Amino acid sequence: MRDEINLRAYGKINLGLDVTGKRPDGYHEVRMVMQNVSLYDSVRIGMRRAPGIGVRTNLPFLPTGSDNLVHRAAKLLMDEFGIEEGISISLYKKIPVAAGMAGGSSDAAAVLVGMNRMFRLGLSKKKLMERGVKLGADVPYCIMRGTALAEGIGERLTPLPSMPECVLLLAKPPVSVSTRFVYGNLKADSLPSHPDIDGILGGLERRDLAGIASCLGNVLETVTIPAYPMIQEIKDQMKEAGALAALMSGSGPTVFGIFTEREKAMGAERRIRDGGLARQIYMVRPFHVDGRNRR
């Protein structure tokens, strides 16, 4: 058993997000292309003398008790495996909160992975993913990571070829969006159009960045953009600065732009900052799961 473990919890964007219907239990059936980015939270899990779970974070407004997803992730494994030792979780957040980038889900996934290693529980990635879905639909993907097609409520995952190298500009406007509000107001049975998910899959197979960019789409924009028009303004600024495409991630409000040149991304960043549209802006790259990267 290890006394301490440090992990990286990577954020994600959606290259495509389609909703194909609503289930009797209230959940929506989705078809999404998920992509990790190089922006990450740092998660440290350590032993402590006091029993139970202690959580600390660099953001004072985040809960540290059972309302925090990392606390719930730790408790899930502690209860199942009868772990009696106390643990402390230190969470240093860089992924914007309530931003459509699965930051909380990624943090929870890192805790499941870390505790599995720390206490030598012997759970495979598949077994961890089965437990992760109890915490949230994005958690299994955040355990798997990389580029993936997500179906069902997001828990049915198919690995995909990696996104080609590019510059990704992320911009979160100064609003927080409730995922419940967005899905609650989505008219899933009367959407005006659907994104070309198969076109994105084909672009990934061909490693065709322009082809991928031409097929981006997110049906949740039909709810979030009317409620927060600055999302569209950010998209427009990115495109005018030379982005191949720009799209809202998840339920928003974060917007990402795909650029082939860093200078154009820097120009878009200046326009967005000067216009007061966002303060949280990050220039990142696609995160690939291979020997060069680490959790």
On whether the CB atoms of residues 169 and 242 are closer than 8 A, the answer is: no
Q: Which of 41, 138, 235, 264 is catalytic?
A: 138
Question: Can you name the residues that pair with 169 across neighbouring β-strands?
Answer: 257, 283
Q: By the 8 A CB rule, do 226 and 243 touch? A: no
Asked if 196 is an active-site residue, the reply is no
Q: E-strand spans in 74-182? A: 86-92, 147-152, 156-159, 167-172
Q: Which one-letter DSSP state was computed for residue 188?
A: G
- The Cα–Cα gap between 32 and 251 comes to 12
Six token digits for residue 179? 């995922």
- CA 142/CA 144 separation, integer angstroms: 5
Long-range residue pairs from 152-161, CB within 8 A, at least 24 positions apart, any chain: 152/29, 152/30, 153/23, 153/27, 153/28, 153/29, 153/30, 154/30, 154/32, 155/129, 157/129, 160/33, 160/201, 160/204, 161/204, 161/205, 161/207
Beta bridge partner(s), residue 152: 30
- Which run of H or of E encompasses 15? strand 4-22
The question of whether 138 is a catalytic residue gets the answer yes
Phi first, then psi, for residue 87 (nearest 5°) are -130, 150
Count of alpha carbons within 13 angstroms of residue 21, beta-carbon side: 4
| Phi, psi at 164, each rounded to 5° | -60, 155
Catalytic residues: 12, 138
